Chain A
């Protein structure tokens, strides 16, 4: 099985500041997808951003961007201009090329945005 590691169980950031959440993974595959999911308190998990491993350009979605370092097997999430609504649990996920669209999730980072 693939392993996904999120080494920061909890983080906090001041409103309007920038924060980076770390994620590393272990795989022998060359083609794969990486995802960041957000789970707000008592709410549904939603996709924040995804990155295809064959693309060198880092993905961006509004205030969210990633720093994808394929050789280092690192996939960090940067949140700019943090907002109170960004308070959530964030999960990094890996999907390999073999059957079933099976995901492997990290243990999550709980982010709190402080007013």
Chain B
């Protein structure tokens, strides 16, 4: 089974702090994604990566950056956390861009910015 893990289930940070959210997948997937999930808004794509060191902006990249130094790991970075970034963050991965593939999700990180 594909396993996608996220470094924390719950995280509390203060405004202005730099925040790192880590995601690791163990099935050699090419694609990795970061979403934020908010009530009434569903899942919105922040960034995705289809290869090591490659990244593409999603629908809401402002205030975020990402890093993918190794194929299995995709990090989401909040350079200076703000209260409007309080949300559930979901990481996902999929096998390849060549064919249609489902996305596999991690358990999520609930981030609270005070």
| Interface of A toward B, CB cutoff 8 Å | 1, 6, 9, 33, 35, 37, 43-47, 50, 52, 91, 95, 99-103, 105-108
What are the 7 tightest A-B residue pairs by CB atom distance, in nearest-first order?
A: A107-B42, A45-B105, A105-B43, A101-B94, A105-B42, A33-B100, A44-B107
> Which secondary structure characterizes the binding site on chain A?
loop
Tell me if B45 and A101 are in contact (CB < 8 A). Answer: no
Known contacts A95-B100, A101-B97; is-contact A43 B107 (Cβ 8 Å): yes
Bin the interface of chain B by size: 20 to 34
* Residue B50 lies at the interface, judged by CB distance under 8 Å to chain A: yes
A88–B74 CA distance with the chains assembled, in angstroms? 27
* Residue B56 lies at the interface, judged by CB distance under 8 Å to chain A: yes
Residue-wise interface mask of B (75-109) relative to A, using a CB-CB cutoff of 8 A (1 in contact, 0 not): 00000000000000010001011001111011110
The residue that B100 contacts in the complex, of A52, A105, A106, A108, with Cβ under 8 A, is A52
A44–B93 CA distance with the chains assembled, in angstroms? 13
Residue-wise interface mask of B (29-68) relative to A, using a CB-CB cutoff of 8 A (1 in contact, 0 not): 0010101000011111100101000001011000000000
Most buried by A among B41, B90, B97, B100: B100
